[in-house]
Amino acid sequence: MPLIALATVTMLLSGCNTATQQTAAAPTPVPTPVAPQPPQIDYAKIRPNELGSIPVIMYHEVKGTKDTDLIRSVKSFQEDLEVLRKNGFYPVNLGDVVNNEIDVPAGKSPVVLTFDDARGTQFRLNETPDALKVAPDCAVGIMEAFAKQHPTDWALRGTFFVLPKSKATLEPFGQAGLGDQKMAYLVKQGFELANHSTLHNSFRNYTAADIQRELGNAHKVITAAVPEAKLQVVALPMGVFPKNKELWKYLLKGEFEGTTYEYQAAFLAAWRPMPSPASKEYDPLRLERINSINGTNGIRDWVKKLTSGTSVIPMTRYISDGDPNVVSYPKGMEDKANVAMIEGAGKLANAYEVEGGGTKPIVGAVYGDEPGRNVDTTPPGKGVRQTAVEEPALRVSEEPINE
Ligand SMILES: [Zn+2]
């Protein structure tokens, strides 16, 4: 019955649209595109730097009271949000970052919260007589409460690298029969769904056909369940890339049984902030994430490094000018900017000078001068098939966080 009702409504709506289009016959003049102008902001105060680095945080489980490599306690997760907010970070979806469509208020720094494997503690529903209610202590429930509490400086954004239901993997987010409804709800709320393969096996020895089957099938199943979902990025299981570099192109584009997929970027598992998409250091096939652990190279360590400038690697954070059509950065950083890409996208590259500005030299983000660590952070878990990974694991210090 509801299906029939829905079909009728859809038909009525499309009928309506056709009628409107027919009556509105007069051609509308195409507006001349206006070249973007530098935003009128206080540059000396805000000091936008849209070539700075962006932290992409990786979460697996959010539950309980103890932090581990893969589990963030409920309290620590709540505190993470507050630490990020207090330090001027503002959440965005990964798809917007890799498309260089970062829309955050002037003076704020983008941050991306990512959630892997569609684990149950990320999104749980409680059944009540008339509705399914988001559990207040799952990641989604905590983020919803936080956004409601801070309407002007926090938004409901985040990227879920889900695993579709398959013979080898459980229902996304663990509750039987509710996976599709949950995924659709996330998209409706402003979150983003992204590809994390079908079976969560290592891609190391995959052939072109293997890669396309794994990504194409996941793409097909997820978009069939949630047609409004726009998948734009992929995170490789355990962060493991195919050994054969010639096959990397299939991570971003391919076809499986009539389903084609096309992504903007592929993400590793760890360990540092990613470069701005407008910087020359940006490489869509080697983007890194930060693990939500305590201690060195964990989330709060990086917040501290990015906000105090005390990183071993000279690294500055992305600070927005508030206008997604303009890429602003201080004069002196011109050689870091990918001006061809910025202008090719119809945006303005805005190298600004602050009168009577700072006396310190500006140091840009430098990548590649520390050995990258590709960390296996996925544990033996429910519904997730495991493959051994050869990368050395990152040693995690147990020291408490000092704010
Ligand atoms: Zn995973």
Q: Could you read off the pLDDT of 130-174 as tens digits, one per residue?
A: 999 999 999 999 999 999 999 999 999 999 999 998 877 789 999
In the predicted structure, residue 393 carries a pLDDT above the cut 90: no
Instruction: List all residues 6 or more positions away from 18 whose beta carbon is below 8 Å from its beta carbon.
Output: none
In a domain, 394, yes or no: no
Q: How far is the CA of 384 from the centre of ligand 1 (A)?
A: 8
Q: How far is the CA of 116 from the centre of ligand 1 (A)?
A: 5
Instruction: List all residues 6 or more positions away from 91 whose beta carbon is below 8 Å from its beta carbon.
Output: 84, 110, 111, 112, 113, 154, 155, 156, 157, 158
Protein residues near ligand 1, an ion, with CB under 5 A: 116-117, 378
Q: How far is the CA of 291 from the centre of ligand 1 (A)?
A: 12
In a domain, 269, yes or no: yes
Instruction: List all residues 6 or more positions away from 14 whose beta carbon is below 8 Å from its beta carbon.
Output: none
Compute and round to an integer the Cα radius of gyration of the chain.
Answer: 22
In a domain, 69, yes or no: yes
Query: What pLDDT does 309 receive?
Result: 63
Distance, CA of 366 to CA of 326 (rounded, Å): 23
In a domain, 280, yes or no: yes
Q: How far is the CA of 153 from the centre of ligand 1 (A)?
A: 30
Token pair, residue 287, equals 């983007």
In a domain, 362, yes or no: no
- Which residues constitute the domain of residue 218? 36-352
Distance, CA of 321 to CA of 41 (rounded, Å): 7
Token pair, residue 217, equals 């099938």
C-alpha dihedral sign at 78, 80, 83, 84: negative
Query: What pLDDT does 21 receive?
Result: 41
Q: How far is the CA of 231 from the centre of ligand 1 (A)?
A: 16
Query: What pLDDT does 310 receive?
Result: 58
Token pair, residue 105, equals 């208020």
Contact (CB, 8 A) for 168 and 217 = no
Q: How far is the CA of 149 from the centre of ligand 1 (A)?
A: 30
Report the chain's terminal Cα–Cα distance, integer Å: 56
Which CATH number characterizes residue 214's domain? Answer: 3.20.20.370
In a domain, 24, yes or no: no
Distance, CA of 74 to CA of 139 (rounded, Å): 8
Contact (CB, 8 A) for 197 and 382 = no
Instruction: Convert the pLDDT of each residue in 296-318 to its tens digit.
Output: 999 999 999 898 865 555 568 99
In a domain, 267, yes or no: yes
Instruction: Convert the pLDDT of each residue in 331-378 to its tens digit.
Output: 988 999 999 999 999 999 999 987 654 444 445 444 433 333 333 333
Q: How far is the CA of 314 from the centre of ligand 1 (A)?
A: 30
Reduced to 3 states (helix: H, G, I; strand: E, B; else coil), residue 131 is coil
If you average pLDDT over residues 83-95, what whole number do you get?
Answer: 97
Q: How many CB atoms sit inside 10 A of residue 397's CB?
A: 13
Number of structural domains found in the chain: 1
Query: What pLDDT does 342 receive?
Result: 97
In a domain, 371, yes or no: no
Query: Percent of the chain, pLDDT > 70?
Result: 78
Query: What pLDDT does 169 receive?
Result: 72
